[in-house]
Amino acid sequence: MYVPAHFDVSDPETLCNFIDNNALGVLVTHGKSGLDANHIPFELNRTQGPHGVLHSHVARNNPVWQDTASGDEVLVVFRAADAYISPQWYPSKHEFHKQVPTWNYLVVHAHGRVTIRDDERYVRGMVARLTRTHEASQPVPWKMTDAPKDFTDMMLKAIVGVEIEITRLEGKFKLSQNKDERDIRSAGEKLVEQGDRLVGERMLDAAAAKAV
């Protein structure tokens, strides 16, 4: 990924927090059948390995787990939000007319090596942890024991575990940091106004940091 210095995010805690908060990743593989991309939820264990380990699962009917061999290099893309930025939102455009449209976004790329885990114990534990994490905010959290045991056992047999040891993390938060503070703030306010709050509020944070 091309990451100009303005947009580079390298703090490990920031990158790991980003993955925790945006758990649906795009697993990009290059197996026997060529390039493939699968959208699946991940759990990040920060204490495993030097950069952490990602845990997930795919349907047994998904050929990716057989097309990809343990030890293969893979890439997982995590994305938070994106927004189009009009040059009309920059005060400097109306003075000097030297601005162009762009697109802002927040992404983290996790590079790593995959291990296929066709292991019922691994899959059961990983699904239980994912469930606890993502059901925690529900008024009455669903748990695996809510379903009949034979049904749960059948569903678990229909999936295969995927484990990725992260070898490198890189982040790119493109928030117009290469612009003047007033331009960043103005565009951020416009995004918030039109409902693109996540990118807009992060741009306002970037403007405030630049003003210091």
Query: pLDDT of 95-128, one tens digit each?
Result: 888 889 999 999 999 999 999 999 999 999 999 9
Tell me how far apart the alpha carbons of residues 122 and 99 are, in angstroms, rounded to a whole number.
Answer: 52
Tell me how far apart the alpha carbons of residues 84 and 74 are, in angstroms, rounded to a whole number.
Answer: 29
Tell me the CA distances in angstroms from 167 to 51, 53, 87, 104, 172, one per residue in order: 6, 9, 38, 26, 17
Place of tokens 């490198």: 168
Place of tokens 């990716």: 64
Q: Over 80: is that where the pLDDT of 71 sits? A: yes
Domain ranges of the chain: 5-87+100-179
Q: How far is CA 26 from the centre of its chain?
A: 8
CATH class of the structural domain 5-87+100-179: mainly beta
pLDDT of 94 reads: 83
* Alpha helices, DSSP H, located in the chain: 12-21, 64-67, 91-96, 120-135, 149-157, 181-194, 197-211
Sort strands 102-117 and 34-41 into parallel, antiparallel or unpaired.
unpaired
Q: Over 80: is that where the pLDDT of 93 sits? A: no
pTM of model > 0.85: yes
Neighbours of 17 (CB within 10 A): 14
Tell me how far apart the alpha carbons of residues 169 and 10 are, in angstroms, rounded to a whole number.
Answer: 8
pLDDT of 14 reads: 97
Query: pLDDT of 140-170, one tens digit each?
Result: 999 999 999 999 999 999 999 999 999 999 9
pLDDT of 41 reads: 97
Spatial neighbors of 68 by CB under 8 A, at least 6 apart, are 29, 31, 74, 114, 116
**CB 87 within 8 Å of CB 188:** no
For range 192-205, the mean pLDDT: 97
